[in-house]
Amino acid sequence: MKSYWDNFARAFSTLRPPLRPSGEDIDFMEQCVAERAAGRGTEGLRVLLLGVTPALASMPLPESASLVAVDNSWPMIQAVWPGNVPQKRRAIRADWREMPCRSRSIDVALGDGSINCMRYPDGFRAFAAAVREALRDDGVLVLRCYMQQDTPETPDKLYDAVCRGDVKGFHAFRLRLFMALQESAESGIGLDDVHRSWTAASGDKHLSAERTGWTQEQIDTMQYCGGSRTVHTFPTLTEFRTVVHEYFEESRVSTAAYEMGEHCPRFILKPR
Ligand SMILES: C[S@@+](CC[C@H](N)C(=O)[O-])C[C@H]1O[C@@H](n2cnc3c(N)ncnc32)[C@H](O)[C@@H]1O
């Protein structure tokens, strides 16, 4: 069975915020790197990217900085990585839980939806521990994360909202559907379950491109969830903090202005 990310690589170019970082999110991460670089003077600054998010991989880096991206999907690296640049940026295929960098060597780690790829709580803990181990004591972890609401909406309510025309963007809908279908952070939500729910509801409720206002190309990306073993996790803010705060303290949290932005906060985290 193929991983979702193997198929996802093909659908990646159709993604929009909130499933991809917006210009504002990228500026935010760039600013975090610039601030760290200012604090380090001319010493080489080492940036770790958790995934191969192209807009983050290709953001301008300070003169002294270099970036290493770690992602465990070769198809994703092949499909979206903007290319290695000697001494400046390179991608490595590896699992975040076995980080291929020296202990305490990284100044800034950046992740966009990365922790949502891990299982809760053990995967979150292993991810946080591995990133903490890679970071210098004065380093920072900057994460954009997808957060479940304290009282999740039900799939029926969400589909009804779509029928009324109350859900604007397709990508905001997809994120809401993942969250609505997830029973608990511990169970996460399997993408094959998302596909099954969507296939049934879109037939029953006639959720066509004309009816929803979404493009057929966007709707067709739902098929990549079918047959996937991938599970995503949407913790509440409390669940996220319960595990991540074992390794990091929160220095700042902010949100962007797009639809569902309040469910995609950006955290600046400092090692404990
Ligand atoms: C960073 S996340 C979220 C996608 C993101 N919102 C974007 O715009 O790119 C997706 C990436 O994480 C990678 N990934 C998932 N689990 C991983 C793991 N345990 N170790 C390394 N990479 C992983 C996937 O291969 C995929 O490329």
Judge contact between 64 and 40, C-beta under 8 A. Answer: yes
- Please report which confidence band the pLDDT of residue 58 belongs to, taking 50, 70 and 90 as the band edges: very high
Q: Is the pLDDT of residue 224 over 90?
A: no
Atom of ligand 1 nearest to the CA of 95: 20
Ligand 1 centre to CA of 71 (Å) is 6
Question: Tokens representing 145?
Answer: 């994360």
- pLDDT tens, position by position, 90-138: 999 999 999 999 999 999 999 999 999 999 999 999 999 999 999 999 9
- pLDDT reported for residue 174: 95
- pLDDT tens, position by position, 15-42: 889 999 999 999 999 999 999 999 887 7
**For ligand 1, mutation pick of 25, 73, 174 (most atoms within 8 Å of CB):** 73
Ligand 1 centre to CA of 114 (Å) is 5
- pLDDT reported for residue 62: 92
Ligand 1 centre to CA of 50 (Å) is 7
Atom of ligand 1 nearest to the CA of 3: 25
Residue whose CA lies nearest to ligand 1 atom number 3:
113
- pLDDT reported for residue 10: 64
Ligand 1 contacts CB of residue 7 (under 6 A):
no
- pLDDT tens, position by position, 5-16: 666 666 677 788
- pLDDT reported for residue 205: 86
Atom of ligand 1 nearest to the CA of 123: 19
- pLDDT reported for residue 8: 62
- pLDDT reported for residue 7: 63
Ligand 1 centre to CA of 78 (Å) is 13
For the entire predicted model, the pTM comes to 0.94
Q: Which of 6-10, 55-59, 184-188 has the lowest mean pLDDT?
A: 6-10
Ligand 1 centre to CA of 210 (Å) is 32
- pLDDT reported for residue 9: 64
- pLDDT reported for residue 13: 72
Judge contact between 267 and 252, C-beta under 8 A. Answer: yes
- pLDDT reported for residue 144: 98
